[in-house]
Amino acid sequence: MADITTSGPATRLVKPYRPPRAAAAHEWLRADPSFAHLGEQTRTLAALQDAVRRCLPGMPLTVVAFQGGRLVVGAAHAAVAAKMRQVEPSLIAALTRSGWVVESVRFKSHWQAPETGPARTLKPAPGASAIACVTALSEQVQHTQLRDALRRLAQRHGG
């Protein structure tokens, strides 16, 4: 229902704000004929992603492209890509059994930025009494390497 507001001599009709309806990406792609091919490609890649996950569970892989029987799969890093190249024939066979026509697979390694955690805080330096204890301990230790390490620790922290 619209609200009626008055502003001076004129009265105007104000419609309440309604946000646009959120539509799924595939609905939006289907609505425009020029994007119909893109919508089909996204559905294909999503289905292939599910098939690869079923064939190789737990592997950090992302289906990047599929065209003409050639599948391109992104790996989280080079070590994963190298391992996947070893199991390429098994993956092709498993995808073929699932109904996909895959002639070759190319594993592409790409770097992903590590997730940043909370900022690292430095521990406070040991107090003078702690350094004195380390120095006293270094005088009592018989083991040469341990004694030298304790002395270096005390010297590094002002002992």
Q: CB within 8 A of 29, min separation 6: which ones?
A: 35, 36, 38, 39, 42
Q: What is the pLDDT of residues 17-53, one digit of tens each?
A: 565 555 566 676 667 777 777 778 888 888 999 999 9
pTM over 0.75: no
The pLDDT of residue 124 is 84
The pLDDT of residue 14 is 62
- Identify the burial level of 153 via C-beta atoms within 10 angstroms of its C-beta, where 0-12 means exposed, 13-18 middle and 19 or more buried: middle
Structure tokens at 90: 């098994």
Q: What is the pLDDT of residues 106-128, one digit of tens each?
A: 988 874 545 666 777 888 888 88
